[in-house]
Each structure stands twice: as structure tokens, then as C-alpha cells.
Chain A
Amino acid sequence: MHSIGCLLRSQKDSGGIRKDVAKSGDIRERIEARISQGEFLASMLFVAGKQSEEVQDSFVANLSKIATSVRELLENNNLLEKLPYRPASYWPSVKGKTFAFIDGGVANIDLPSAAPIGIRVGSYIVRPGDESERRERFNIELQLVDDLYSASGFLYDDDFLDIAKLRDAARMVSEVAAAYRLAALSGDEQLDAVVLHGPLINPVAPYGLEDFPAFSVSACRKLLNDETWNGEERERQFVSIYLEVLERLRSTGTPVVGAVERSIGRDPVFTRRILDRLQKSKVLKEKDAKKLEDAIIAYGLNDASLLDVVLAEDEYVTPIPVMRQGPENKWPEEWKRKIREYPDALTTYIKPSALVMPFRVEAFEGISDFASVLELILHTSRLLPSYGFPVGLDIVDKFAKVPSWMSRSVKGQHQVVLLKKALESGDPRTVAFAKRVLAARGRDWLFRPSV
């Protein structure tokens, strides 16, 4: 681990000591504050399992070295931005603008069956400063349950055993489809920004499996908001249709971002991307980049937990494009060309306040005025000071959520039991029959209170 020390020292030697000392003091403070909140416990345990005792002893010191290094790299290479939080002047400045927040809700029914997939995507469109009736609009943009069971066509053409994957795929594509519908609005209805709950661009390789059913034509038409669309089966596969919707969404030119509430996984994808870029542009030695990356991984830090101590309040990392599709060798052979076409996500992490973890924000490359969207993100996040996430997404999340009582009431019904039995039988015809029964009789379960 002394390599980090070296790195640190070498940077210090290169000047700006006073400033660096101050910064590392801040970082140390942030780390200690986080540790007292139990935040780094997982990392500490992670280290404990792998590293020598001496390293464990100096956990805080080393973590602080890593974070200071990252911070200084960002600073030296102009990769750190700061937004002012100035609500009193910001809000009046966006008076009359229109912002949309989008989130998908999934009926959470714990059944080993394809049947009760219920996805709906809600939107909350709001015009700050507007005193008329038009100020707020809540809407369910898309609802994919009807299609799943209606006689006019199933959501998918066929059954597939991994129901979670079907559900995820349907949710991802319907969220961007809803964003597309809104982003495409023009004239009086033209939006100034669309904020999605979740990543804008998701990895698609896991859904490119053989046997993964294609969406029905009618489902695709709905997703593309295009009643005349007619596509071959391959074009109706998730990998194709998702890209199609994304491209259409991008081409609207409306600023669209995805805000990712939680970072899962330990892999510091974003930080690695930064190091790669610096290295590629020949401003960072491969050796140093490798050392830092190794240290980050050794300490079990992911992007959010690392940047949490690197970034100060109201700061974000200069957005950089991140390829989201994972290593090419894991891509299914028949989809490789298609997956290569997927756009990168212009990505940043923003830390809206000292109290909260930074979160990831993604946009398409070429988005116009990302900075002002990030200003919106900052100001809307500050309205939930201790949660630190755009309040508009919190609002639409509550709106779109399929209430648990609704899911529960489905579970309680004997039709479902019937379906379970059918699935246990493993006979596809029985399964199909059971689904039809469920479709005919149990449809009102998804009716949410219309308030």
C-alpha cells in the first residue's frame, strides 16, 4: 500500500501543498463522519478478510490517501465541477419551464409464473411558478398489463422461464418508451427536461439470450408510440426494440437524464473510466492508474462510496461517456453487432449535499446544456435534504407504485393458486390455459385507486 503514499507524496511535491493539506483534511473528516455512521463497515470487513493486519490498522489513513489522490486527479485535470445551491434565485429563474419525472412501477407479486406481470409507467409533469390548473399533471403513460392478458395480443410472443428477466426487460423498455412519448411533445407541450428514475441506458446482453421471447407487434407499437410500425421478430426482440426506442428518444433533442438512486455492486466502473481516459490521453501513467485502481478495489470501494468522500457538497464530476454494455466477450454472439450500436451513457456523479451519498446521472452524449439539468437535479434533491434525491422522482415513484395491498389481494385469490398448480405441472398448454382464466377473471386487480 505504500505505493499510494508515494503517489500522494509525488503529487504533493509537484506543488500546491497548502491547498492539498486542506483538502485531505476535509476528506479525512468526511471519512470519519461516514465511519461513525457505519458507512464503511462493509469495506472494512472486506479489507479485514483480505489484507494484512497492518493495513487494517491504517484503514482510515489509507482510505484517505486513496480519496485524496482521486480528488487531486480530478482537480488537476479539470474534472470537478461545482454548482451553487441558490434556491431563492434558482426557482424563479425556471418559472414557466416544464419538467417531467418518470418512473415505472411493477406489481410485486411473488409467483413463479409469467402471469401477473404488471408494469406501468407514471409521469409527473410540473411547471414551476405556474399558478394555473396546468401546473401539475400526473399521468400513467404506459400500462403493460392489459396487453399481457388481452385478447388482442400478449406482451411477449411466448413464455420464458426467467420471469424476473421478462419483467426487467419490459420495465426498462417501457420506461424509456414513456420518456420518448413525453420528450417528443412539441409546441406548447415541449418539455425542458425529462428525468427518469434509474439508468438511461442499461446493459442489454443478459436479455439477448436465445429463447428470449420477442415482444408482440402491438406491444412494440405501443412502446414506439407508432401504430403503423411493423417489425420482424428480430426487430421485436428486446435488444433491438430497446435500442430503437433509445435512438428515437435521443433524436427528439429534448434533454433526458436518468438518475440512479442506488449503486449496487462493488465494481468502480466510473472511476476506472476516468483513469482510463486520463491514461489514454497520456496524462497519467498506466502504472499509477493501475496502482490506484488496485487500491480502490482492494478497499472494496465502489464509485458512490469513493466519490462520497471525494466530492464536497454541490460538486459533481465532469460528465464522461461510459460504455454500459460490459465486456464484449460476454455478449451473445448473434447480438454482438447490435450491442455495439448502443450509445454510451454520458455519466456523472453528483453530491447534492454534505449529508448524502452522491448518485449517478446519465444522459445521451450531445445533450444540450447538461449543466442546467444538473442544476435542476441539485435543487430538486435539496428539497429532500436528508434523502438527497430529486423530489420529482420521489413524487412520481409514489404515484406509479403499485400498492402492495393490490399485489397482496392478487396473491390471495384462488385463481393464482390455480395458476401455480398449472405451472407446477410444467405443461405449457395448462399454463397457457391458466393464464387465460386469470386474464378473464382476475383483471380488476390492477385497478389503482383513481384519485
Chain B
Amino acid sequence: MDVRAPKLKSAAKKKSEKTTGRPAEDQSHEWPRIGTVVGETSTGRYTFILKNLQGKLGDIVATRVEVPIATGGKKEVATVWGRITSIDRFNPFFPAEAAQELANENIKLLDTVLSGSRDHLEAEVLILGTTFGDDPGAAQLSPLTYPVKPSAEVLYPPADDVRRLLTGEDDKKTPPPPKLSIGSLIARSDVPVSLSARDIVSRHLAILAMTGGGKTVAARRIIRELIELAYPLVIFDPHGDYLGFFEKRALFPKSRVRVLFPSIRVRQDNLGVISDLIDKMGKKLTDAQQQFYYYLLSNTSATDGQKAVEYIQRLIDHADNIAAKKRKKDDHIADELADTRSGTMNAVKRSLEFVRDNLRQMESNNARLRSQSRFKEYTFEEMPDPSDAPDEIVAPGTVSIFYLAGYDHLNQSAIVSIVLEALFAHRSTLSGVIPPFQAVIEEAHNFIPSRQEGTDETPSLPTIRKVITEGRKFGTGLVLISQRPSRLDETTLAQCNSFLVLRLVNPRDKSFVRSVMENLSESDANILQAFGRGQGIVSGQAVRFPLLVQVKFDADLVSEAIGDEDFITEARAWKPDPQRKANAEIFKRNMNKDTQKARSDENERTTNDRRNARKRPSRRGGIKPDF
């Protein structure tokens, strides 16, 4: 039916000859026509009627428009690039009342004169920018300055042109600027999508998605690309999601991948963090107790590099010491402690013991996890001192993965704070000890929680804020990953200049993301919940314009040791410890009822006592190791 097409072409050709004064050689005339612009248009978006099955959501399309150029009434033909952000389908030739009648009379549409074949597809396009001349990648993509013309044809540029558009001038430069390839356009698997490495490492990236959306897979992809660039990496890994890099280190022969376990050590420069940590982990202290605690802190010297547990032990010993003197009414007691009652001292001591036990518990949690049989091929190293030996953490071609499992959020946060603070200090004082690096922070909501979360005392928050704000100057880029964007500190997140947002369903998260990402259109926000695994929208400085991307899944990076737990199988295969069972049998058999009862009463009392002692209500509640 499209008998007019040839004429249209020649008309357009004539026009461009007239206006630009050069032959219309544009390759766009060979691009397939997929529709016609209709309705009201603007410089930001337009709508077009799409031919059946000729385009789909997320497709990059083009149209042409004459735009005025500065010099006296002249105009030039611009290629306007856009992305299809929604498609409505309706059949204007099928009236609703006819549907009613068909239903009432039980007749088939096909048997009547009604039309069922003429669906109208109305596609909405978000304008991305314009180029002039032939090469979509030739010039800077500039904003459209004059609206698209209703009735203009909409074209479907081939993969090559779209690819050139996405990469801009980059391909022309020698050497081309480094790229992090993350996947392809959702709508067109033949068009690869990559991020500008420079923008990621200096301007930060946030990867946001609901759980299972594919954040970790995407982060691994980006990390892998950074490894290929031999860029130094520091990964804070609360669940072991990134240990696969160690397992598969043979894939990266030029790099050194290390798995580190935390050890919290005291230094003069982090004493503040440590004392804060102790304070927060312990029981809430009264003013008098607080005073005594400060006395202990300032009168117990710490050796640099000493383990926090040992330092706490020294505080405890010190407290013990003073308490003993107090009991003996020893005169050698400091004046300021004259009024401190021994009850106060004991309370502080118990709090410190509690903290010490917790820390030991978490250390051993972590150690137990590391010694699982599935990690038997792994070589975990104790983390180097980030202040003294930062170059053992950050070095060219080195990936340092901090395995934080077993520690609670507070301690994980303290560790991140201590490490990042020290590394950043080296960068910002230009000590010349470590190169620029990229830090990856999983479960970022635990490290940079929003104020509403009531945890604005999280030690890592001020550190990360500082790093993210000044990272641009000092080459300390961040990748923040979170499944609850709305729980993130907004000011910190807003410092990210690039976003990869995968499937997101929670309305609060969606609206939060919209508020942080300036250029996310409403229709884009609306499709977030429809994304499949690994599908998302990438926007910000790292790309020329927002793109719908299908993240590449690196199957070869999937760790055999970590993998997805199969609890069903585990439960089915579960065998109770025979020895434990046998022991229990002994008691059942040998103890008579009365003794048994007496025993158990006593038992109950003692356990209760112990529980009371241990489970002091701390400000953070009990410790729950985070596996």
C-alpha cells in the first residue's frame, strides 16, 4: 500500500539539497523506514506510528529535521536520535461497542465485516540528541534545538551506525579511550554497550536493583573489565560473592588476586574509630562509667598494629588493676578516680569484656567460614595494615577482596572505614605509596545508610562520603551496590555520576532512584519493574545517553565454591551427628526421672544466668554475625 515511498524519498532529498547546498548523500535514506511522526512533538520527545513488528521497546531510532543555524535564516538537516520508551497498541478500527455486541450475540469477529488486522502501534520516543552530517559518531551529540516535524519518517539505523553513535568520537582517537564492556542493547543484541572507564574510576558508579536483579553479575562484569585494564581494585565482600575471582584467577594471568580476612588493629590514627566501635558495641554507659572509660582509653597506650582484641584486653586489665587498688584502698590511685566507685569500674570492665568476646566471636566466625571445606583451595591472607602497608592492598594489577562474612554490620562498617580511610589518606596526601584504585562496596545500604535508618553513626558513612566527594581529585573511585536504594544516604548516592539500574519493583526505591538520577524519564522509571534478570538502564557520564542494556553474564566466573545454596538438598542429606545422638541416649537411658528433673532445673537456672550476663542489652542489640 506504500506506493508513495519513492516520492517521499525524492522529496526529502530535494529538500536537503536545497537547504544544505550539498548533494543528499545521507546514508539514512538507506535506513529502513519504520514509521511516521504524528501528533505534537517537542525538542525532548515525539510520538510515531510504528509499522507492524518493525521496532520494539528500547530501540534506538532516528529521524531528520531541519534546524535553524545561527547565521541568518540558514538551516541544516540534523539526524535526531531517540530511544523508544513505550509502545501503545490499539486498533482504532475496532470499536468497543462492537466487541460488546460480538460477546452478546456470540459471534466471531472473523465472520463479520469488522476489521481485526489494523493495529496501530504508537511509539513514544525520548530524544537523545542530534548529529550533523553522515557519521553518527562524528561529532559531539548535541541537544535538539528545533522540534521534530510531524509527518517525518522514522528510521531504523543498522547496528553499525548505532554502535558508532554509542561510542561517539572515541573510536577515532588513538589510542581509543578505555571502555568497560558490559553487554548489549536489550533491543538489539548486535549493538554492544560499554562504559567509559575514565568516568567510572573517577566519577563513581551505583548499581541498584532488587535482590536477584543481577547486581553482582553486573559488578563482576565491570570488575573483570577493570582487571583487564590492570586497574587496582579493592572489593569489600560481605557474602563472598566475589571470591570467584580468586578461584578463577587463572583467567587473569597478569593480575594478582588476593582474598583477605579482616583483622581490626589499633593505630594512633584510627584510635578514634576503635574507641567509637568499642563504645557502640558495648553496653550503654552512664556518665560516670563513660568518664572511667575515657580515663582508661587515655591512660592505656596502644602499640601501632596491635590487634583490637588485645588492646581491649589491656583496657580490661588496666580496669582490673585500678579496681584492685581501689579495693585495697591503695593510695596510688589517680586523683580523678577518687570518686569513682568500684561498681562503676566493674560495669565498664564487663562492657569491655563483652566487646572483646564479641570481637573474638566474629573473628572465629569468619575463620570458621574460611575453613569450610568448600574453600579448601583458597588461600586467605590476613589483611595487611592499610596505613602501614597500603601497597600490599593497592597495587597495579592487584585485586584485593576483603571477605567480611561473620562480622556484624557495625564491625564490617568499621573495617571498611579503617581501610578506606587509610588508603584515601595515602592518596590525598600524595604519599606516592599507592596508585589510584577502584573500591567496590556491596550491600552499600549497610555502609552508607540514610538518616532515616537511624544509623547515621555508621563509621563508614563519613569515610565514604569523603572518598566519594574527593575521589575525582585523588583517583579513588567507588562502585556502590545496593538492593535497597531508598535506604542509601542520598547525598552520597547523588555523587555517583553513573547509574546502572536493573530490575526494581519497590515504589519507594523507584521514586528514590528517579530523584537521584536527573535524566531518568517517567516511562523509563515505569519499565524498571519489567526488566528481566540482567536487564537494566545505564545512564550518566559513562554513556553518551541513557541506554537499556542486557548485562553480559560471565558464566566462567561463577564460583564452584560459592554458588547458590541448595537448602532442600542439604536438608534432605542432613545426618545428625551420631556421637551427639549416642551421648544423648546415654542420658536418656541412665538418668532416672527425678534426677533428670533436678538436673534440668539447675541447668535452666545456670543457662539463664549466663544468658543474662552475656546478653547485656547493648545499643546495637546482640551480635548477629552476618553470613
Within 8 A of A (CB), among B114-131: 114-118, 120-121
Residues from chain A with Cβ under 8 Å of B92 in the complex: 398
A140 CB contacts on chain B under 8 angstroms: 1
Complex contact A383–B112 (CB within 8 A): yes
A88 proximity list for chain B (CB < 8 A): 105-107
Taking a contact as CB atoms under 8 Å apart, the answer to whether B113 and A87 are in contact is no
Which of A129-137, A275-283, A341-349, A425-433 interfaces with chain B? A129-137
A129-B110 in contact given A398-B92, A406-B150 (Cβ < 8 Å)? yes
Contacts of A409 in B (CB 8 A): 149-151
| Nearest opposing residue in chain A for B153, CB measure | A447
In whole angstroms, what is the CA distance A92 to B117 when docked?
Answer: 20
Least distance between B24 CB and chain A CB atoms (Å): 15
Interface segment out of the listed B34-42, B177-185, B276-284: B34-42
Q: List residues of chain B with CB within 8 A of the CB of A130.
A: 110
- A420 lies within 8 A of chain B by Cβ: no
- At the interface, yes or no: B95 with Cβ under 8 Å from chain A? yes
Give the interface size class of chain A: 35 or more
Complexed CA–CA distance, A398 and B118 (Å): 11
Q: A128 contacts B8, CB within 8 Å?
A: no
Closest chain-A Cβ to B355's Cβ sits at a distance in Å of: 72
| Measured CA separation A88–B52 after assembly (Å) | 32
Which residues of the partner chain A approach B113 to less than 8 Å between Cβ atoms? 99, 101, 126, 128, 380, 383, 390-392, 395
Partner of A449, one of B38, B106, B107: B38
B100: Cβ under 8 A from any A Cβ: yes
Tell me whether A95 is interfacial, beta carbon within 8 Å.
yes
- Contact status A450-B36, CB under 8 Å: yes
Q: Knowing A398-B92, A447-B36, A451-B52 touch, does A139 contact B100 (C-beta < 8 A)?
A: no
Count of inter-chain pairs, beta carbons less than 8 A: 116
Closest to A128 in B: B111
Q: How many Å lie between the Cα of A147 and that of B206 in the bound state?
A: 60
Is A229 on the interface with B (CB-CB < 8 A)?
no
- A356-396 interface with B by 8 A CB criterion: 379-380, 382-387, 390-392, 394-395
For residue B101, CB closer than 8 A to chain A, the reply is yes
Query: Which residues of chain A come closer than 8 Å to B610, judged between CB atoms?
Result: none
For A137-152 the 0/1 string (1 means CB < 8 A from B) is: 0111000000000000
**Closest residue of chain A to B52, judged by CB?**
A451
A444 CB within 8 Å of chain B: yes
- B570 interface residue, CB < 8 Å from A? no
Which residues on the B side are within 8 Å of A124 (C-beta)?
A: 115
Contact partners of B2 in chain A: CB under 8 A = 450
- Residues in B398-434 with C-beta less than 8 Å from chain A: none
- Establish whether residues A391 and B4, one from each chain, have CB atoms under 8 Å apart when the complex forms: no
A408 nearest in chain B by CB position: B150
Contact A384–B151 (Cβ < 8 Å):
no
Contact A87 B117 (CB under 8 A): no
Name the distance in Å between A143's Cβ and chain B's nearest Cβ: 9
- Are A406 and B151 in touch, CB under 8 angstroms? yes
Q: Which of B2, B106, B108, B113 has the most CB of A within 10 A?
A: B113
B305 smallest CB distance to A (angstroms): 74
Question: Could you list 15 further interchain pairs (A-B, Cβ under 8 angstroms) beyond the known A87-B105, A91-B108?
Answer: A126-B115, A128-B111, A129-B110, A131-B110, A136-B116, A138-B115, A383-B97, A384-B97, A385-B97, A391-B95, A409-B151, A444-B8, A447-B36, A448-B36, A450-B5
Chain A residues in the interface with B (C-beta under 8 A): 87-88, 91-92, 95, 99, 101, 124, 126, 128-131, 135-136, 138-140, 379-380, 382-387, 390-392, 394-395, 398-399, 403, 405-406, 409, 441, 443-445, 447-451
